[in-house]
Structure 1
Amino acid sequence: MMSRLSDCGSFSGCCGEDSSDVFSGESTADISSEEVVSWPDDSIASCIEDERHFVPGLDYLSRFHSQSLDASAREESVSWILKASKPYYKFQPLTAYLAVNYMDRFLYARRLPETSGWPMQLLAVACLSLAAKMEEVLVPCLFDFQVEGVKYIFEAKTIQKMELLVLSVLDWRLRSVTPFSFLSFFANKIDPLGTSLGFFLSHATKIILSNIREASFLEYRPSSIAAAAILCVANELPSLSSAGNPHESPETWCDGLSKEKIVRCYRLMKAMEIENNRKNSPKVIAKLRVSVRAASTLMRPSEEPYSSSSSSSLSSPCKRRKLSDYSWLSDDNSSSE
């Protein structure tokens, strides 16, 4: 049995920066249309200019295509972060997004000993812990982050070592520019009166998080993702659907936006929406009339439906393993991609 160390609040406020200007979609009551209008365009343009410093390099997506990075392992880690963030700990959407952002930036800069398995799980736990310490008021102890079906369990000091490695690789740049930095400003461009601001923020947030598992979105920067999500929401509102046409001029919302990128990201979101609806739609299975003979006539007297070994393997839960070899965490000379 592992002991729980007194690790609550480690690295708390490590950057000493206030990120209250990044809205997650769940704090819309404190945002008024007057406040959005008062934001100068050049401050948003500055965020667009800075966002390139908080995303992986342009060749990051190609590594998944070439299978030098495991896209399924990334998807599994992102799914775990989302489950642990919202259903379990009720974290803000921004916290989950930041955790995934830290993980992607780390994977771009540093190669893990394995592209899947326990190193990826340790990285996901450390990134979620760091994101929570940046954004949440109440942060669980490190040991308690290991929830929602993890396969391995780590001591708190091991997670702390991984946190330090992540901080080092990211150069302590944790206050990232995210799509949530732009949502309110872009929503105001379509809905200047702010009558549907809450709807825009909450639904755009859902769209962004529902697509975060898909590696294809790594091609787009936060501003393009935010603009595309706002356009998707506008198309859900009959009174604003005409203003939500991505082929009009979303690039005029602010300097630095790319119409081509926004349109492509918008199309990908719509395609993913169709695909998700198809997967989630109830399947109707035709009823067939089948004549079934008694089970006793289909097997020999000596046969059993399940052997004792198969029965035990089916009933036994997956055991979480304790690992002890983490020497690579302190190896600064490890190869990187």
Structure 2
Amino acid sequence: MSLSCSDCFSDLLCGEDSNIIFSGGGDDLTEYSSDLESCPPDVEESIAELLEEEREFAKINSPSSHQQIDVSVRAESVAWILKVQRYYCFQPLTAYLTVNYFDRFLYYHHLPKLNGWPIQLLSVACLSLAAKMEEPLVPSLLDLQVEGAKFIFESRNIQRMELLVLRVLDWRLRSISPFCYLSYFALKIDPTGTYTGFLTSRAKEIILSTVKETSFLKYRPSCIAAATILCAANDLPNFSFITVQQAESWCDGLLKDNVLSCYQLVQQMVTNNRPKKQPKVLPQLRVMTRPSITSSDSSSSSSSSLSYKRRKLNNNLWADDVK
């Protein structure tokens, strides 16, 4: 069903001009990539800068109080976001940023209703903004509302919501994510680069699973990256000896206690999400017992045999008579 929410959300009619989007208003923001390919040659210095920016960003986005949202409502929204991400084969970073915008918006802004269509509208707007930031091809706002979307919104209402999200987030859409550190941490585990592709790919899958859980919101991106890379290394026998203590030495700024607690949460989550093996059920064999022969059966069998012999004898006699 199509909703017109202009009367329901008075603050969706933002004062910003849409031309601001295309102006140089965000030139002072630092750009971050999901990989290290865009980093300067001195990787160690680049990682140190990311950690410093991460600390500053954590201070800005740590309000003392925020609007509480029901865990089940958030889980439903995140599940829908991940479905659309898989449907359009978006990058993992797109889904991560979408949930990041979603959570940060609710930290700072009060919604009149924390379920139903307002949350769905927020999810669509955040996904649209994240896709515009990371994807080369972005579906239309109407086509973006797939995979069981409960409400279908008009494009103009989604655009108004996008402007509200931009205003609440102070136009800070570039956020440091765990993906920034994966290649660097993978090379720390495997300097030869033989298994770094597997480690980063597996870690990305685990990171997408962490966005479903609110318990990971208290950890910084670098901490989540280290924990997920360690968990991915557990799947390779050659690197099962890597410990949290070793991860602490990968770069300055990683705290052993934080990485350890995050790593334990990741391990628990991976174990719970792993499909349980069904118990093997052996096919039931039907055992046939040989029936015992009673005296009556024996006598009837004997009489039948005798009768058959008599018939055969009579037939032979009849054949001789014919000759």
- TM-score (ref. length: structure 2): 0.73
Give the counterpart letter for 1:21 in structure 2: S
Q: Measured at CA, do residues 18 and 110 of structure 1 come closer, stay the same or move farther in structure 2, by a change above 3 Å?
A: closer
Is 1:253 paired with 2:250?
A: yes
Q: Is the 8 A contact 1:36 1:184 kept in 2?
A: no
1:284 deviation in Å? 5.6
Q: Which runs of 5+ in 1 are unaligned?
A: 4-9, 24-29, 287-337
* Residue 280 (structure 2) pairs with residue 281 (structure 1): no
Q: 2:135 maps to which residue?
A: 136
Which has the higher Rg, Structure 1 or Structure 2? 2
Report how far residue 189 of structure 1 moved: 1.1
Go from structure 1 to structure 2 and tell me whether the alpha carbon gap of 1:228 and 1:275 turns closer, same or farther (over 3 Å shift): same
Taking the TM superposition and a 5 Å limit, the aligned residue runs for 1:119-134 are 119-134=118-133
1:236 counterpart SS class:
coil
Within a 5 Å distance, the mapping from 1:292-311 to structure 2 comes to none
In the other structure, the counterpart of 1:262 is 259
What whole-Å deviation, never above 9, does each CA across 1:23-74 have from its counterpart, x for those lacking one?
3xxxxxx96xxx99944322212211222455542767xx79xxx3211111
Residue 63 of structure 2 contacts residue 107 of structure 2 at CA under 8 Å; is this kept in 1? no
**SS class of match (2:167):** helix
Alignment CA distance shift 1:93-1:133 (3 Å): same
Say whether the 8 Å CA contact 1:227–1:250 is kept in structure 2.
yes
Q: For residues 91 and 22 of structure 2, what CA distance do their matches in structure 1 show? A: 17
Structure 1 residue 51 and structure 2 residue 78: aligned?
no
Amino acid at match of 2:254: L
Alpha-carbon distance between aligned partners in 2 of 1:228 and 1:217, rounded to the nearest angstrom: 11
Report SS of the residue matched to 1:145.
Answer: coil
Q: Tell me the CA shift for residue 75 of structure 1.
A: 0.8
Deviations 1:184-214 (A, max 9, x none): 1111111111111110110000111122101
CA contact (8 A) 2:181 2:222 kept: yes
One-letter code aligned to 1:51: E
Q: Say whether the 8 Å CA contact 1:48–1:256 is kept in structure 2.
A: yes
**Structure of higher RCO (CA pairs closer than 8 Å, 6+ residues apart):** 1
Q: Secondary structure at the match of 2:217?
A: helix
Contact (CA 8 Å) 1:13, 1:133: kept in 2 or not?
no
- Taking a change above 3 Å as real, the CA distance of residues 255 and 178 of structure 1, as seen in their structure-2 partners, is same
1:93 counterpart residue number: 92
Residues 113, 36 of structure 1: alpha-carbon distance in 2 compared, 3 angstrom cutoff: closer
The alpha-carbon distance between structure 1 residues 100 and 212, as it changes in their structure 2 partners (threshold 3 A), is same
Return the alpha-carbon distance in structure 2 between the equivalents of residues 46 and 119 of structure 1: 37
Alignment match, 1:318 = none
Q: Residue 215 in 1 paired to residue 245 in 2?
A: no
Letter in 2 for 1:98: L
Matched, 1:22 2:34: yes
Distance 2:240 2:246 in 1: 14
| Sequence identity (%) | 52
Report if the CA contact (8 A) 2:32-2:176 is conserved: no
Q: Which runs of structure 2 are paired with 1:1-337 in the superposition (5 Å)?
A: 15=26, 21-23=33-35, 38-54=41-57, 56-57=61-62, 68-86=68-86, 88-242=87-241, 244-246=242-244, 248-277=245-274, 280-281=275-276
Q: Distance in 1 between matches of 2:184 and 2:228?
A: 13
Q: Deviation at 1:19?
A: 5.8
Q: 1:77 and 1:186 mapped to 2: Cα distance?
A: 31
Q: How many residues align structurally?
A: 262
Question: Are the counterparts in 2 of residues 234 and 241 from structure 1 also a CA contact under 8 Å?
Answer: yes
| Deviation digits for residues 107-143 of structure 1 (CA, Å, limit 9, x no counterpart) | 1111211112111111110000000000000011112
Give the CA RMSD over aligned residues.
Answer: 3.0
User: Which one-letter code corresponds to 2:82 in the other structure?
Assistant: L
TM-score, normalization: structure 1?
Answer: 0.70
Question: Hey, what's the Cα distance between the residues in 1 that align with 2:110 and 2:261?
Answer: 30
- For residues 285 and 107 of structure 1, what CA distance do their matches in structure 2 show? 47
Instruction: Find the residue that maps to 2:193 and give its secondary structure.
Output: coil
One-letter identity of the residue aligned with 1:153: I
The residue type equivalent to 2:243 in the other structure is N
Q: Match for 1:197: what amino acid?
A: T
Whether contact under 8 Å (2:2, 2:154) holds in the other structure is yes
Alpha-carbon contact 1:220-1:265 (below 8 Å) kept: yes
**Which whole-Å CA distance do the structure 2 matches of 1:58 and 1:48 have between them?**
20
